[in-house]
Amino acid sequence: MKCPFCSKRNSKVVDSRRSKIGTEIRRRRECLDCYRRFTTYERIEHTPCMVVKRGGDHEPFDRTKILSGLLKSCKKRPVVRHQLEQLADEIEEQLLAMPERQITSEEIGQCLMEKLKRIDKIAYIRFASICLEFNNVHDFVQEMEYLLKLEK
């Protein structure tokens, strides 16, 4: 491992820890030439999962897009960021576990809506209005009636 300070390739691992979600290892290293310490992260490189958009375009899966959509739908709601990051992690893990490397944006949206429904109903409606492409008030009312039936 090349030292970011002196550019020598002589270093030793001082400490290793698994990340909170277990997908990467954090290594604390010390350069044997300049004796400065630095951190590296080691993670498994997966074949990227491709997302098929509504228009037919393909793009690589991007966890930050999911988190961004969740944050927008939960704005000013009593939902903590940690919960949303967990949701994004769960979706990413599900995708990586799938044998096929392609999924539609609608399928991702459905998974997220199911998980959001359990956390916050208002955030769910906000997210569903985009994901299900509500065109009028009737679509909102229909989804609200569906949620009310679930609560009974």
CA distances from 90 to 16, 129, 146 (A): 24, 22, 25
Read off the DSSP letter of residue 8. Answer: -
Buried b (16+ CB within 10 A) or exposed e, 42-81: eeeeeeebebbeeeeeeeebeeeebbebbeebbeeeebee
The span from the CA of 100 to the CA of 49, in Å, is: 8
The span from the CA of 117 to the CA of 63, in Å, is: 20
Read off the DSSP letter of residue 54. Answer: T
60-78 tens-digit pLDDT:
988 899 999 999 999 999 9
The span from the CA of 88 to the CA of 140, in Å, is: 25
pTM over 0.85: no
79-116 tens-digit pLDDT:
999 999 999 888 888 887 888 888 999 999 999 999 99
The span from the CA of 40 to the CA of 29, in Å, is: 7
Say if residue 41's pLDDT is above 70: yes
